[in-house]
Structure 1
Amino acid sequence: MKRKEPRDGILTVLKTGSGLVSACAALLAFVLIIYSGYVLFDSMAVWVSAFSSGSDLLKYKPRAMDAPLAEAPSMETVNKDYRAWITVEDTPIDYPVVQGRDDLHYASHDVYGKVSLTGAIYQAAACRPDFSDSYNLLYGHHMDNGAMFGSLDRYREQSWLKSHQTAVVTTKNGKIYDVTFFAAAVTDAYEKEIYTMGDRAKQVIDFLTGDRSHDAGIGTTLAAWDEEAAKGAEKVLALSTCADTNTNGRLVVFGRMTERRTEKDTLKLTVKYYGENGEELFPDQVFTRQRGSGYYVVSPQYPGYAADIEIVRGTLTEDTVVRVRYRPMKWTMRIRYLYPDGTEAAEAYEREILTGEGFEKESPAIAGWHPVRLKVSGVNSGRNENYTVLYVPEDTIGAVDMDDLRTPADLGDVYLQVGICAE
């Protein structure tokens, strides 16, 4: 038998090791290809989802941006921080607007509240949520593919500003603002004149048209300006995004906000009237008034019942429904027990009773005397109840004709009826 040389074993090991290395390299390459594909797919998903048209966001857009009565968007059911929807003409900007407790949260979270590189379009935390400030600011990331506020770069061009001046903001309460852009400025992220909120529309415009030089920072440069579009601007919307000129550089586009006058300014007041158990007592009263009008409606009377709102009053700021409930009034029921001569046979019975409440009270027993009515019963009809029960000697029962009984003279306007005198 031929003896195996040691070098043959070494060659065999080397060949086996080489095969394992090749297999591992192939496996690693395969894993890298799969991972690269995933990263590419994920990047594309983020890239596409940054556009509202590439996601399911548009189904939450108010259905009739140009209609007089825009329906309330359902986006509020998805995110309670929803404030409005903004659409900028001929740009990819067509997004819901949210508002966080600070200006950092939605820089890294999307409108669904999930962590996201694209963030969301969000209103400055210091702004009033209903856009009632005269100066309102929205933030959005500058995406290289033009998503979010990436398309604002074009507004640095004077020609683009003048040919693409239109935007629409619809608040969650149904108010519609037409926006006309009049300026674009490159500024610093810490420019107080631009990033201080409140009723500052005039101050912001004065700043843009005045001296904007600073000792520190990059200052503020007016890139595009339309004097005519800026005239009469009492309410201003600013859109802020990053500018590539500086780490703290910002591009801000300014527009005049004008509330659209629609039929929504004609509001409806409906007053409903219910009983204690929810039953309808009166037909609804419906009034049509202009937004901001005062109203004063006296609740009708319902015998024996009291309205919890006697006068419906206020100022119309939205369609309003007021529900007036009627509850039974309290009355006094009193029963006197008398002998035929008008003297007291027993202590009078007295208690409170509600409208519609039933009652039943047995007449007290008196030795030698018999009550003409053994008990007093009935249902309160919305008034004080006063009854008198007469007592007759027991030995006269069966011998007395009820018609012969007469009301004692000192009882006043009391009449005898089936054994009961009711005032």
Structure 2
Amino acid sequence: MLFALLVLGINGFNHYREKQLIKELRTKMQIEEMRIDTQMSESKGINPEQSGEGAMLLKFEQLFIENNDLVGWIRIPGTTVDYPVLQFIDNDYYLNKDYHGNKSKAGSVFMDYRNSSDAKGFNTILYAHHMANGFMFGDLIKYKDEKFFIEHPTINFDVLNREWEWEIFSVYVTDVGFYYIDTNFPTKEKKLDFIKSIRERSMFESDVHVGTEDHILTLSTCTYEFDNARFVVHAKRIDHQTSQK
């Protein structure tokens, strides 16, 4: 009994530490965004972020100093998804590591190591755990509800040098046998086949057009309908920048 209480205590402390870290990171991001908004106001709308093509957005500079595995930030309206996105040389490291590289049951949101960190590939894939308390990608399961799917159609996923909005067009449950995490698309035909396959699997229909010249964002997390089940969300990059922050 004492051992069980000890384990509960350790788990409770670790969860508290993980929540505090994310709260700290979110606060830092919000402070930077507010600072840039203030600078824009004082400079009569001249955006301090527009410092040249390819330059790092100012809001990311401090967080990047803390961890240069940072590749961006993801937010999904109506969910708790509001996290930095990391990338390592493999897809294992950040499964159980937090932003500072400490062991973490919740892990981090991370980009597939095969992807270009600027999300310029055809299929950019982000992974995170499905935590029972909604942490990390736990809230993605809200997209199993058609009303939520319709009312929350966009994702904000910004990379280090640009802010992007993405429009959701497909959500589904699958097993790991379906290779939705493909990053190799050497031909137009292969892209078309991929688009067709992920649209056909969607739980709900969408009128968002997706073509071979578009960029797809794929979010992947565990779900529990059956062994090795995955819940997947696909979104298309919208070809306009959101207001800079």
Give TM class, smaller chain: 0.7 to 0.9
* Uncovered stretches (5+) of structure 2, i.e. residues with no partner: 38-46, 50-56
Deviations, residues 312-335 of structure 1 (Å, cap 9, x unaligned): xxxxxxxxxxxxxxxxxxxxxxxx
Give the C-alpha shift of residue 145 in structure 1: 0.5
Q: Secondary structure at the match of 1:57?
A: helix
**Alpha-carbon distance between aligned partners in 2 of 1:52 and 1:88, rounded to the nearest angstrom:** 20
**Alpha-carbon distance between aligned partners in 2 of 1:54 and 1:253, rounded to the nearest angstrom:** 23
* 1:89–1:166 contact (8 Å) kept in structure 2: yes
Greater fraction of residues in helix? 2
Residue of structure 2 in register with 1:179 after alignment: 166
Write out aligned runs for 1:364-383 (5 A): none
Larger radius of gyration: 1
* 1:48–1:54 contact (8 Å) kept in structure 2: no
Of stretches 134-143 and 197-206 in structure 1, the one that deviates more from structure 2 is 197-206
Q: Within the alignment, does 1:61 sit opposite 2:29 as a pair?
A: yes
Residue of structure 1 in register with 2:72 after alignment: 84
Q: Secondary structure at the match of 2:143?
A: helix
Q: Within the alignment, does 1:75 sit opposite 2:54 as a pair?
A: no
Residue of structure 1 in register with 2:224 after alignment: 244
**Alpha-carbon distance between aligned partners in 2 of 1:88 and 1:263, rounded to the nearest angstrom:** 16
Residue of structure 1 in register with 2:181 after alignment: 195
**Alpha-carbon distance between aligned partners in 1 of 2:18 and 2:232, rounded to the nearest angstrom:** 20
**Alpha-carbon distance between aligned partners in 1 of 2:59 and 2:12, rounded to the nearest angstrom:** 32
Greater fraction of residues in strand? 1
Give the C-alpha shift of residue 197 in structure 1: 1.2
**Alpha-carbon distance between aligned partners in 2 of 1:225 and 1:51, rounded to the nearest angstrom:** 35
User: Aligned AA for 2:98?
Assistant: D
**Alpha-carbon distance between aligned partners in 2 of 1:127 and 1:54, rounded to the nearest angstrom:** 24
**Alpha-carbon distance between aligned partners in 2 of 1:259 and 1:187, rounded to the nearest angstrom:** 29
* 2:29–2:59 contact (8 Å) kept in structure 1: no
Q: Secondary structure at the match of 1:129?
A: coil
Q: Within the alignment, does 1:122 sit opposite 2:96 as a pair?
A: no
Q: Secondary structure at the match of 1:225?
A: coil
* 2:214–2:236 contact (8 Å) kept in structure 1: yes
User: Aligned AA for 2:109?
Assistant: I
Give the C-alpha shift of residue 259 in structure 1: 4.5
**Alpha-carbon distance between aligned partners in 1 of 2:93 and 2:223, rounded to the nearest angstrom:** 20
Is the alpha carbon distance of 1:48 and 1:150 closer, same or farther for their aligned partners in structure 2, counting shifts above 3 Å?
farther
User: Aligned AA for 1:207?
Assistant: S
Residue of structure 1 in register with 2:44 after alignment: none
Is the alpha carbon distance of 1:50 and 1:149 closer, same or farther for their aligned partners in structure 2, counting shifts above 3 Å?
farther
**Alpha-carbon distance between aligned partners in 1 of 2:68 and 2:18, rounded to the nearest angstrom:** 21
Deviations, residues 296-319 of structure 1 (Å, cap 9, x unaligned): xxxxxxxxxxxxxxxxxxxxxxxx
* 1:86–1:93 contact (8 Å) kept in structure 2: yes
Residue of structure 1 in register with 2:150 after alignment: 162
Give the C-alpha shift of residue 140 in structure 1: 0.4
Which ranges of 4 or more aligned residues in structure 1 deviate by more than 6 Å? none
Deviations, residues 132-151 of structure 1 (Å, cap 9, x unaligned): 11211100000000110000
Q: Secondary structure at the match of 2:208?
A: helix
Deviations, residues 379-401 of structure 1 (Å, cap 9, x unaligned): xxxxxxxxxxxxxxxxxxxxxxx
**Alpha-carbon distance between aligned partners in 2 of 1:252 and 1:85, rounded to the nearest angstrom:** 19
Q: Secondary structure at the match of 2:94?
A: helix
**Alpha-carbon distance between aligned partners in 2 of 1:189 and 1:179, rounded to the nearest angstrom:** 24
**Alpha-carbon distance between aligned partners in 2 of 1:198 and 1:84, rounded to the nearest angstrom:** 22
Write out aligned runs for 1:11-50 (5 A): 32=2, 36=5, 38-50=6-18
Give the C-alpha shift of residue 164 in structure 1: 1.1
* 1:51–1:92 contact (8 Å) kept in structure 2: no
**Alpha-carbon distance between aligned partners in 1 of 2:146 and 2:159, rounded to the nearest angstrom:** 29
Residue among 213, 222, 229 paired with 2:208? 229
* 1:184–1:254 contact (8 Å) kept in structure 2: yes
Residue among 194, 212, 234 paired with 1:204? 194
* 2:77–2:154 contact (8 Å) kept in structure 1: yes
Deviations, residues 346-377 of structure 1 (Å, cap 9, x unaligned): xxxxxxxxxxxxxxxxxxxxxxxxxxxxxxxx
Over aligned residues, Cα RMSD in angstroms?
2.8
Residue of structure 2 in register with 1:313 after alignment: none
Q: Which has the higher contact order (CA 8 A, sep 6+)?
A: 2
Deviations, residues 222-246 of structure 1 (Å, cap 9, x unaligned): 22332x2345681111110001022
User: Aligned AA for 2:12?
Assistant: M
* 1:184–1:225 contact (8 Å) kept in structure 2: no
Q: How many residues align?
A: 219
**Alpha-carbon distance between aligned partners in 2 of 1:197 and 1:124, rounded to the nearest angstrom:** 9
